[in-house]
């Protein structure tokens, strides 16, 4: 298993546990967060960029595959708002990799792992073109005006999903 942390900060030598935000996952605990390789693409965008992400699971209905993916071979998709396109295109990201020792599974569908101890990355990769990085990983990218209708449809589907930074989305849910 491979674990990662994606940041816009280029020189993180040591990750120290940080208190989770009130009302969010891990509330009340100081944690180092990591993501597994399968869900890494969900984080290959600027941190504050709102996004709807979805992926195929063994328990997903074939009808949802047809409804939410442009191709039968596509298994992961991400939608961002049109207003974030330029920022995404201009952002450089840094993917830090960790040894999985010391991390525990926090959320299987989201691919979250956490550690309560300091973690030193074993490797750092620079991503200068986030769109190319997503496409190289077989992710379908959609650029749309309003994430909220898609958000509601994906949540009602049998797909695995993650809605990230939706507080930054352009419109409030209907």
* Residue bearing tokens 């328990």: 59
**Cα 130 vs. chain centroid, distance in angstroms?**
12
CA 17 – CA 8 distance, rounded (Å): 18
Q: How many domains does the chain have?
A: 1
**Cα 31 vs. chain centroid, distance in angstroms?**
17
SS3 19: strand
The CA-atom distances, in angstroms, between 158 and each of 13, 55, 118 are: 39, 10, 36
Residue 173, pLDDT > 60, answer: no
pLDDT score at 142: 97
Average pLDDT over the chain reads 95
Q: Is residue 90 part of a domain?
A: yes
Q: Is residue 173 part of a domain?
A: no
Q: Is residue 91 part of a domain?
A: yes
Which residues sit opposite 35 in a β-bridge? 4, 112
Nearest to 78 by CA among 59, 50, 117, 101: 50
Residue 30, pLDDT > 50, answer: yes
Q: With the CA atoms of 53, 171, 167 and 44 taken in that order, what torsion angle do they form, in degrees rounded to the nearest 10?
A: 40
The CA-atom distances, in angstroms, between 69 and each of 43, 62, 74, 121, 127 are: 19, 11, 6, 34, 25
pLDDT score at 109: 86
pLDDT by residue (tens digit) across 10-21? 999 999 999 988
Q: How confident is the model at residue 172 (pLDDT cuts 50, 70, 90)?
A: low
Q: Is residue 174 part of a domain?
A: no
Q: Give the domain range for residue 57.
A: 3-168
Q: Is residue 94 part of a domain?
A: yes
Question: Average pLDDT in the 157-169 region?
Answer: 95
Question: Average pLDDT in the 67-90 region?
Answer: 96
């Amino acid at each position: 298993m491979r674990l990662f942390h994606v940041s816009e900060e280029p020189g993180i030598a040591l990750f120290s546990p940080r208190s989770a935000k009130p009302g969010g996952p891990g509330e009340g605990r100081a944690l180092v967060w990591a993501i597994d390789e399968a869900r890494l693409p969900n984080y290959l965008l600027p941190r504050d960029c709102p996004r709807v992400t979805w992926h195929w699971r063994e328990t997903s209905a074939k009808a949802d595959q047809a409804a939410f993916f442009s191709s039968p071979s596509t298994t992961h998709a991400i939608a961002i708002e049109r207003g974030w396109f330029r920022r995404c295109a201009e952002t450089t990201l840094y993917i830090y990799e960790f040894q999985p020792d010391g991390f525990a599974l926090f959320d299987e569908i989201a691919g979250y792992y956490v550690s309560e101890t300091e973690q030193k990355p074993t490797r750092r990769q620079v991503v200068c073109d986030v769109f190319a990085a997503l496409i190289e990983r077989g992710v379908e990218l959609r650029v749309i005006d309003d994430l909220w209708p898609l958000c509601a449809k994906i949540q009602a589907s049998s797909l695995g999903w993650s809605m990230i930074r939706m507080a930054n989305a352009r419109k409030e849910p209907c």
